[in-house]
Amino acid sequence: MREVFVLLLGVPAALFGQDIRPEIQFVNGMYQRFQQGGADASPTLQVSSQVRVVMKGMPAGNNRVSFQFLQRAAARSLQEAERKLRGSASITNGAGVTLINAQGFTTISTLEIHVPPLVKRASVEILRNGDIEVFNFPGALFASTQAGDVQAENIGGPVSIHTGGGHIRLGRVAGGVECSTGAGSIRIESAGGDVNCRTAGGEIVVNEAQGPVWLANGGGSIAVEHAARNVEAHSVQGGIQVGQAGGTVTADARGGEIRIGSAAGVRAESADGPVHLVGVNGVLSVSAALGSILAELMAGARLKDSSLMAASGDITVMIPSNLGLRVMATNQKGGVPRVESDFSGVQLRMLNFDRPALAEGLINGGGPTLLLSGSGMIYLRRVK
């Protein structure tokens, strides 16, 4: 075991090494107790705390991990303050790991840790309901709390975050992100790898991800601004919006709108809400049980054989004048398809008596097959 340095402010030097507590001070109308310590850094840092944790990365040149433990409380007397401010913190070194432990009352205590670049992996666990904040840490981060918020900014490695009932806020993360919360929202500014996150209730927002994205929400909306690869999103109660994806978008919404911008393919199912596609490519497989479908196709789109199906709603397809398609439209209820087309090449064909009528034809010389099936109107509109 390496030597560990712990400084108790306000304690005479002759008492160092004895089992004593830091002196209580009265500052700005509050009683407070302050403790700090440090130890040589190891590649791994492990923090076990009952109170709020703030961890900050330090510039190169310092090879020690240090902490500051502050407790503050309002009290009518020094004796009452001593009962409230009885928490403590310690730091020790083992084989390749630095251990920090802190205990105290969550609402009045904060453990602040300063970490040098020598630390490549940090695990922070709060045993009670406390928040975790991490800034400018260059390594991999693992953080969990029973019911607090977690915030991290400028993390140099992958991140794994879990909270039983708080919000998750992540800024720039150089690696992948894996996170979950029992009852809070999730916001990710930038992830350098995969994103795999879920919440039981609260919105999920991902501004940028360089890897595949998988998101699940039990009680809120999902929004992805930009993803370099595939996006898969599942929402039980809320809409799904994807601005731009370099791969295929898979979206499943039980109670909200699905809106997808640029993507290399779409598989979307909406149980109760409309579907809106803008500037998509590849294979489109879209169904809406209770809602309309609007597909705005772009000039130069590289479509493949696709299908749009609306069980109870209209289907509208906006088609550029230079995009070739073969269209086949049927009515799910077995009647004559109600099709309004700006393209003369789409004509109604009557098949035999036991099959629904078919509106079929080539648009702009033909191309991939677009199958349209619904119980409402089908609109084929020409755009410049």
Residue 14: other Cβ atoms inside 10 A: 7
pTM: 0.89
Contacts of 168 (CB under 8 A, 6+ apart): 149, 150, 151, 161, 179, 181, 184, 185, 186, 187, 197
Residues 123-140 have pLDDT tens digits of 999 998 899 999 999 999
Higher confidence at residue 53 or residue 8? 53
Give me the pLDDT at residue 354, please.
58
Which residue shows structure tokens 């915030």? 151
Residues 142-191 have pLDDT tens digits of 999 999 999 999 999 999 999 999 999 999 999 999 999 999 999 999 99
Average pLDDT of the chain?
Answer: 90
Parallel/antiparallel/unpaired status of strands 266-270 and 249-253: parallel
Closest by alpha carbon to 155, among 56, 229, 40, 224? 56
Max avg pLDDT among 228-232, 312-316, 371-375: 228-232
Distance CA 264, CA 302 (A): 9
Which residue shows structure tokens 């799910």? 332
* pLDDT more than 70, % of the chain: 91
Measured between its terminal Cα atoms, the distance across the chain in Å is: 75
Q: Residue 38 pLDDT > 60, yes or no?
A: yes
Q: Residue 18 pLDDT > 70, yes or no?
A: no
- Report in angstroms the alpha-carbon separations of 280 from 67, 276, 365: 52, 10, 20
Residues 70-127 have pLDDT tens digits of 999 998 888 888 888 989 999 999 899 999 999 998 778 999 999 999 999 999 999 9
- b or e along 278-300 (b: 16 or more beta carbons within 10 Å of the residue's beta carbon)? bebbbbbbbbbeebbbbbbbbee
Give the confidence band of 341 by pLDDT, cuts at 50, 70, 90: very high
Give me the pLDDT at residue 24, please.
87
Rg of the Cα trace of the chain?
Answer: 29
Q: How buried is 134 (Cβ within 10 angstroms: 0-12 exposed, 13-18 middle, 19+ buried)? A: buried
Distance CA 339, CA 315 (A): 10
Residues 343-380 have pLDDT tens digits of 999 988 766 555 566 789 999 999 999 999 988 899 99
Give the pair of three-digit tokens for residue 12. Answer: 């005479």
Give me the pLDDT at residue 22, please.
63
Q: Residue 384 pLDDT > 90, yes or no?
A: no
Give me the pLDDT at residue 10, please.
37
Contacts of 88 (CB under 8 A, 6+ apart): 21, 35, 69, 102, 103, 104
Distance CA 303, CA 283 (A): 6
Q: Is 36 helix (H, G, I), strand (E, B) or coil?
A: strand
What is the CA angle 111-114-120, rounded to 5? 115
Q: Is 223 helix (H, G, I), strand (E, B) or coil?
A: strand
CB 32 within 8 A of CB 25: yes
Q: Residue 13 pLDDT > 50, yes or no?
A: no
* pLDDT more than 90, % of the chain: 76
Higher confidence at residue 221 or residue 332? 221
- b or e along 329-367 (b: 16 or more beta carbons within 10 Å of the residue's beta carbon)? bbbeeeeebebebebebbeeeeeeeeebbbbbbebeeeb
Distance CA 60, CA 140 (A): 17
Give me the pLDDT at residue 155, please.
98
Closest by alpha carbon to 101, among 115, 86, 116, 111? 111
